[in-house]
Each structure stands twice: as C-alpha cells, then as structure tokens.
Structure 1
Amino acid sequence: MASSATISSPQPEAEAGPAKVHASQVSSIKVFAESNGASLIPSTYHSITDLHHDDATHDLAPSIPVIDFSLLTSHHHHVKALHQLGMACANWGFFMLTNHGIPENLMEELMNKSHEFHDLPMEEKKEFADNDPLSPIRHGTSFCPQAENVHYWRDYLKTLTFPQFNFPHKPPGYSRYCREVAYDYSHKIRAVARKLLEGISESLGLESNSIIESTGFDSGLQLFVVNLYPPCPQPHLALGMPSHSDLGLLTLLMQNGIGGLQVKHDGKWVNINPLPNCLIVLLGDQLEVLSNGKYPSVLHRAILNNADTRISVVLSNGPALDKEIGPVVELLDKEKPLFKSMKYRDYFQVKQKTRLSDKCSLDEIRLHAQQ
C-alpha cells in the first residue's frame, strides 16, 4: 500500500498563474488538469491558506483502531470485540475493518472499473450533470461549486444504490458488467454496515436492533460515490476535499493504494494508510445525533499529490429518507438531548447543497444545552 501524500512546503512561483477561474468554467477537474499541464493552479483552488498549522502528525498512526469483523460476529469473542468497537467509536469516530468477508477480487474489480466512467468524454457525461441532490445519478466537480468561494480538486460520480439501485449505462459494453459488480458490492457493504450498527447499538447499552429500527435502515438511503483526485501541480495549496464530517450513519471507504485520506484526532491531522484489503469505516452525523454525542462523527479531508491519481470508492449508509432522526429515547433517561430531531431527507438536501466546513450542518441542529 502506498504511503499517504503529505502537504509539502511551498515552492517558489516563477510567474503568476491564472487569477480567477469561475466554477462554471470547469465542468471536470480531470479535463482541466490535463489541459493545464504543469501550470500553476488558479487562485480559486487555493484551499490551504495556513501551510504549516495543519501538517499531519505521524505519532498517532500506531494507535489507529482496527476492528476484526470476524470477532464481532463470533460468539466467543463478541463481548471483547464490542468493547473495542465502542472505544473506537467514542475516541476516534472511525476505524479500519479487517476480515469483513467481502471478496478481495470483488473489491479489486470494482476499483479497476471505477476509473472508466471518469475517462468518458465530457459530452457523454453531460446527461448526468449534478442538478439535484436526490437525482439517482450525478456527475460533477469540487463539492457544491455554486455555494463555494474556493473549489476542490475532485471529480465525482454519485449514485443512489438503495433502496433502488441506480448506475450509469455508459460506456457501452462496460456498463452492464460494472453495474453487476457495483450491485454486488453495494449489497455486501449494506450487510456489513447493518451488522456494525447492531454492534454499535449493543456497545451503547441498547438492544442490537435499536438503531436499525429507529432509523428505518432496512429501507434506508445508500449513496455510492466514486471520487477521482487527479495529480495537482501545487498540492501544498489545494485540497481534494476540505475538513468535513459525513452525513448518514456509517461511511465505508476503499481506495486505490494512493494515500490522501486524513482524519482529525485530538486536534491533529493523521494520515491513514489502510491495511491490505481492509475497509475504512467513518462515523456519520446521524450516528452522532442518535448516540446523543457519545459517538461523534469524524472530521476528515482528502489531500493531494503531484504525481498520481487517487480514486476512492465511498458508500454512505443512512436512514430512510422520511425518518425523523434524533437522540435514541432510551439514552435520554438520565441526560438531556443535545440535538434537535430532523427528517433525514431535509438533512441530506441541506448538506448536499451547502459549502463544506467542518460540522456546519450538524451544528445547525445542536441544542443550546450542549454549548
């Protein structure tokens, strides 16, 4: 597994690059990067303003939590695994998941095919232009250009794969096979996420089916995202994605061996170098709400490099759209609620239409009792 990229010190600039590039002028950062070559990046992509404050620490890497899924599902080791799961959720908000049972060849096949959609000509992808957060298939760049002052060095394909499965019908000859691979993978990920949520419920002292039932998970929304981060000529100035938390309950991520994921822990950024064939599990905002703050969603970001294209395949597993999500009632016997309840559909649309900035969407539903 390749090591994570790092934010290097700024290099001297020989000449001024393009000052402003409006979001409407860039429909694909991949196309823009290939046409721009090694030129300096536009100032509208300068998303790193403090070049030294957020340098990643390497000291915490050995303490990154690893959860063995096979132990969690084992009768003999279940209690110990539950304790480890609860500690990972409370202290880190994320963990590496090993022995998850998803075939390695399926993961490799999906990763190998994930690049091909992004290689299509822009004319072929225009029909999937991102116009609405609940469109079943969306292609775009950055995160939400119309809401951003600064843009991000990323293209994405987003599809809704549950409760109805959607996937692009292009390119011809490839799409049917890729749809089958994506369908198989997305269903296996849901099964893993469901079992993790049962364990998380138990670790909170709840019945194993508590979170599943209170969120309508079995008819919940699954968002399938393929992120593409092309090489950036000035990776010390730009980000692939800024510091943010995810919506939903659990995000399960794999990448193509090119480092770039960082999580924030105890105020420091930590490079994440996944173990072979593991999944990265990130806790989402709705899990923080349900647990009444006991299991916080994790801040994370994507940094860049100037040599390799990074691809991540990300599946966000959330509640049913029409479910009202608030702190689990059983947890409020001895404590006050820290969050207002909100229908997941509303939270989803708000978060997909606004500028990413740490936990700004979650902060909107925090109650004053927490402050």
Structure 2
Amino acid sequence: MTILQVVDKEFSQVPVIDISMLVSQTSHSAAATPQDYYLVADQIRQALHDYGFFYIVGHEVDEQLQKQLEHLSQQFFAQDIETKLKIRMALSGRAWQGYFPIGNELTSGKPDLKEGIYLGAELEEDHPLVKASIPMHGCNLFPSNIPHFRETVLDYIDSMTKLGHTVMAGIALSLGLEKSYFADHYTKDPLILFRIFNYPPNSSLSESKWGVGEHTDYGVLTILKQDSVGGLQVKSKSGWIDAPPIPGSFVCKIGDMLDRMTRGLYRSTPHRVQNLSTSNRLSFPFFFDPNFNVEIKPIELNNVVVNDDKSDRWDKTSVHEFRGTYGDYLLNKVFKVFPELRQKVL
C-alpha cells in the first residue's frame, strides 16, 4: 500500500484503493487470502456509499501500453478534420463506431466541447450479434495512416476487460455477494464500449462552456484513464469536487444500472468535465457494462429499501422505474446523445 501513502489527502477527496490483492487471484503472484479480498471490499463499499467514485492503483495494466495509446491518440486528433472524418461514425452503420467532431455529441440537449472516437469489442461480420443487426455491435473503424493504432487499442480493450471483471468481483464482495455474482448474472459476456475523447483548450471561452455537462453513466462500471491535464469534477454530498489525475491510477465510477441493481445503495454519481487549461485534454473512458440482451433486476439485499433520488438527479428521472434489458436502456440514452442514430437503428 505504499502508493496510497504518497497520495496527499488534499489532492483529491475521492478515495484511492490499492486493488493488487484482488488482481493477485488471477495473476502469477502470491495468492491473496479471503481476508485480503474483504479488506479491499470494505474500502470499495465505503467509497461507493460516500462518493460513487474511487481511484484504483495496483491494477497491473501495462504502463507502456497506456503511453502508446496516449501517444497515438494525440497523433490522431492533431490531424485536419477531413482526415479524421475518413473514419466518421456514419460509415459504421448500426455498429455506431468511429469518429465524431466537436459539437456532434449532446449532453442534456447541449453540444459538448469535445471530439472523439467510439470503439468497442471487435466483432466480425459472422458474429451472431452482428448478423442479427444488434445496434452498437460490429467492427471498429481505425485510422489507416497511423501505424499500430488498431493493435494498441485492441490490446488496451483486452487489458481493461480483464480489469473490469476484477473490479466487479470486488464490488460483488462489497455487497456481501459471491465474487462471481455479476459475471454469473450480467457480465460473463459484457457489452464493451471504449471512447477516446479530446477536449480542446477552453481558457478563452466562457466558463459556462462544458467539455461534457453534468451526467451519469449508463451501465455498471466505467474505468477512466485521464491524461495529466485534469478537469473532471464529481458531485459529492457536499457539492462539486475535483477528481484530478493521480499518476498510475484509474478512476472507477458506477453507472445507472448498478444504482438500480443495488436499490440505490450505490448511487450513479453525476460528473462533468471542463478543460480550463491551454492544452488539449485526452480522456479514455472504458465502459464495462451488462450484456446487451440481459434484463436488469434489483439484487435481493438485506435491509436495503429503495431510496429514489429522482428529484435530485440531473435529468429528473428514476433508474428504479426502468424495466427491460440493458440494451433498451442504453439505446434510449444514446438516441438523445446522437439523435441521428435513431434514424439508422429504428
């Protein structure tokens, strides 16, 4: 836990958790004991109860892979718009992968000050979900003029998928469940969505201009890699607080479906981004979500009563009123972010 000791508490109020003991159960290092697992689970429980967010260190995701991903992403976004549009989303059809320019993504109906690439699990044309024309499943669009971009992204997605299973095992233990609970019921074959976002400098614009406005994520778990610029803010019980980059860490945040599953015990916490620096800001959110076709149901938890926060939520809706599959929920949300997708899918 040496990494935790060097993190100044004033640097961020969001907790930092060393998950190396969880990671060790699937690695070649010394096996962790059940007591080790539950120590981490207790920290996760406290963090999710208080914040809905936490940093993780001790994750063992290759540092060189992360640097390569960041370097190649900088190369991509430095290109002119015509070149970037060669992999625009419209070319991917129902898979809805590829590049979108600044202002094309909406949050609460307002254009975000960011551009990005939508990516996901690489599925060939003969995959059952692709053959069935299930939205948001298919082949990725990669820039052909940047060597190693495809391989780096797919290696990163593979590493983060393994990490997602590990973190969800810790969340299951934090709820007093078997560590395989989420894998058994929701994420054995998860929906994997990965984004690379670029937030341009905002220092000369109005401070009310958001890279992405207040929102919550949709699924169960987001694992976020930040660059060194910063700009992420989390809505805590005492107000908005910064979640700045911590070297060697990822930010973990839970989504609406885990909020629903836990009957509001763990909240999907609102967050937003504003880049006030004079540099571009890169962000790499990885969404580890339930299978597209699985029905989302509350978990039977002792002494937990649904505490609906509809009046407090940014969109004034209740995740606890939702009935259906994760795909139903996701598409309803994405249609609002990209209204033109509705025309391609429906």
Shift of 1:162: 5.8
Counterpart of 1:229 in structure 2: which amino acid?
A: Y
Residue matched to 1:278: 249
Instruction: Name 2:118's counterpart in structure 1.
Output: 158
The structure-2 alpha-carbon separation of the partners of 1:136 and 1:309, relative to structure 1 and needing over 3 Å to count, comes to closer
Question: Which position in structure 2 is the counterpart of 1:352?
Answer: 334
Contact (CA 8 Å) 1:133, 1:352: kept in 2 or not?
A: no
Distance in 2 between the 1:263 and 1:60 partners?
15
Distance 2:294 2:122 in 1: 15
Describe how 1:1-371 pairs up with structure 2 within 5 A: 61-73=11-23, 74-75=32-33, 76-131=35-90, 134-142=95-103, 144-145=105-106, 148=109, 150-161=110-121, 166-172=139-145, 174-175=146-147, 177-215=148-186, 217-232=187-202, 233-328=204-299, 330-331=300-301, 335=305, 338-354=320-336
Change over 3 Å in CA distance of 1:147–1:260 after alignment to 2 = closer
Counterpart CA distance in 1 for 2:207 and 2:304 is: 47
Distance 2:42 2:107 in 1: 44
**In structure 2, what residue type is equivalent to 1:158?**
Y
Which amino acid is 2:149 matched to?
C
Residue identity in the other structure for 1:230: P
Q: Which residue identity lines up with residue 246 of structure 1 in the other structure?
A: D
Per the alignment, do residues 84 and 229 of structure 1 end up closer, same or farther by CA in structure 2, a change over 3 Å counting?
same
> 1:138 touches 1:157 (CA, 8 Å); kept in 2?
yes
Alpha-carbon contact 2:68-2:152 (below 8 Å) kept = yes
Contact conserved, 2:265 with 2:304, CA < 8 A, in 1? no
Gaps of 5+ in 2: 1-8, 24-31, 125-137, 308-319, 339-346
Task: Give 1:83 shift.
Answer: 0.4
SS in 2 for 1:89: helix
SS at match of 1:246: coil
Residue 137 to residue 213, structure 1, CA distance change in 2 (3 Å): farther
Q: C-alpha offsets along residues 183-206 of structure 1, whole Å, 9 cap, x if unaligned?
A: 111111111111111111121111
Aligned residue pair count: 294
Task: Please state how far the C-alpha of 1:348 moved relative to its aligned partner.
Answer: 1.1
Percent identical among aligned pairs is: 25
Question: How far, CA to CA, are the matches of 1:281 and 1:69 in structure 2?
Answer: 12
Q: What's the offset of the Cα at 1:246?
A: 0.7
Amino acid in structure 2 at the alignment position of 1:120: Q
Residue pair 1:250, 1:316 contacting (<8 A) in 2 also:
yes
Q: Report the residue type matching 1:113 in the other structure.
A: L
Cα 1:275–1:157, aligned 2, differ >3 Å: closer, same or farther?
A: same
Deviations 1:225-272 (A, max 9, x none): 011111122251311000101111111111220011111101411111
Displacement of 1:334: 6.8
Classify the secondary structure of the residue corresponding to 1:63. coil
Larger mean CA deviation between 313-322 and 112-121 belongs to 112-121
Q: Is the 8 A contact 2:97 2:117 kept in 1?
A: no
Quick one: distance in 2 between partners of 1:201 and 1:295? Answer: 12
Distance between the aligned counterparts of 1:315 and 1:127, measured in 2? 23
Give the aligned residue type for 1:198: A
Contact kept in structure 1, 2:97 and 2:141, CA below 8 Å: no
Conservation of the 8 A alpha-carbon contact between 1:201 and 1:211: yes
Residue ranges of structure 1 left out of the alignment (5+ in a row):
1-58, 357-371
In structure 2, distance between residues paired with 1:120 and 1:293: 44
In 1, Cα distance between the equivalents of 2:74 and 2:244?
21
Structure with higher Rg: it is 1
Taking structure 2 as the reference length, what is the TM-score of the superposition? 0.77
Q: CA RMSD in A?
A: 2.7
State the alpha-carbon separation in 1 of the partners of residues 122 and 296 from structure 2: 19
